[in-house]
Amino acid sequence: MKIDPSGNIYLIGLYSLFRSSNEGDTWELSNGEIDISDFLYDMAFDAYGSAFVAGSTVFRSTDGGHYWSRSGSGLPIMSELNFIVVSMLATPEGRVLIGTIDAGAFYSDSHREVWSRFGVGITSQYLKCLEPGREGRLWTGGSNGWLYYTDDHGIGWHCTKARPDPNGVYSITVNPLHGAIWVGTNHGGVNGVFFSSDNGDSWVRNLWYSVSGRNALRATPSGKLYLNIVAPTELAVWNLYSTDQGDLWWLAGKYAGGLYSNGEDVYLATKLGLLKYDESDSLLYEDSCGVRNAKTISTMH
């Protein structure tokens, strides 16, 4: 789910894109010229009023999502390489950055509609997530387990001194209150949820569970953390949140889906529809790993 500057809500499905202009009361298919066979992964809105969708290439709309055209000048084509755009981020300055499978990263100053490679300092070709940090810093995570950051809108990148998990970074969020970086992994081997309070110089494991996907971690402006994990004891997704920097986690539901936020409002896009967090009811318990969580199943609606 993404919300554009005009308040339109977009739901990104594997083969479809839906839009609502009335806060989710009704939805319309917004695929336009996007190939219906395309897997769609992410979305971004630039400073010039354009919307971008990530798939087998980049699609662009300048009319609020009614019509889409390919914006792939300078990008590889899928038949030449296993090229899929899986992550996307727009900066306040108007630059759009994308991360791909097997082809590294690209950027476009969107008024030009020409894509160029960036990533001096990045050694991973598979970049699953792009996430804004504090004071203009941008973060990305690679399949090699390293985190990279840039302070110049994506031209030059630096690697953190330590990596949380050699099996790959799957999801990132940065707590806006104090800048702690939270990372989730999901690649077999040593998985878990980690955080760093020193810009990646060292990492602490907070939970032993794998995250459920790319959109599995989210922090709100007030510092609340939201997390989707895969609970191996149940083979199910747990939707957790924390109000104290991960010391206590509360279980709000068991729904598979992606986490999205708009200010303090946090949503979960599921097969049942769009769910919104309501933290009015919670019960604590301690799991088998000794991590205190909460157990309540009815706080989303």
> What is the pTM assigned to this prediction?
0.82
Q: Is residue 101 part of a domain?
A: yes
Q: Is residue 108 part of a domain?
A: yes
Give per-residue pLDDT as tens, 40-93: 888 899 888 888 888 878 888 888 888 888 876 777 765 555 678 888 888 888
Q: Which of 50, 46, 171, 191 is nearest to 99 (CA)?
A: 171
Strand partners, 276: 267
Give per-residue pLDDT as tens, 12-37: 876 778 888 887 778 888 776 666 55
Q: Tally the domains of the chain.
A: 1
Q: Is residue 223 part of a domain?
A: no
Residue identified by tokens 């609970």 is 231
Q: Is residue 93 part of a domain?
A: yes
What's 43's domain CATH number? 2.130.10.10
Residue 181 has pLDDT above 90, yes or no: yes
Q: Is residue 145 part of a domain?
A: yes
Q: Is residue 54 part of a domain?
A: yes
Give per-residue pLDDT as tens, 217-272: 999 999 899 988 887 666 778 888 888 888 888 887 788 878 888 888 888 877 77
Give per-residue pLDDT as tens, 121-154: 787 778 888 888 888 889 988 888 889 999 888 8
Q: Which amino acid is at 244?
A: D
Q: Which domain holds residue 173?
A: 2-210
* The total number of residues written for the chain in this structure: 301
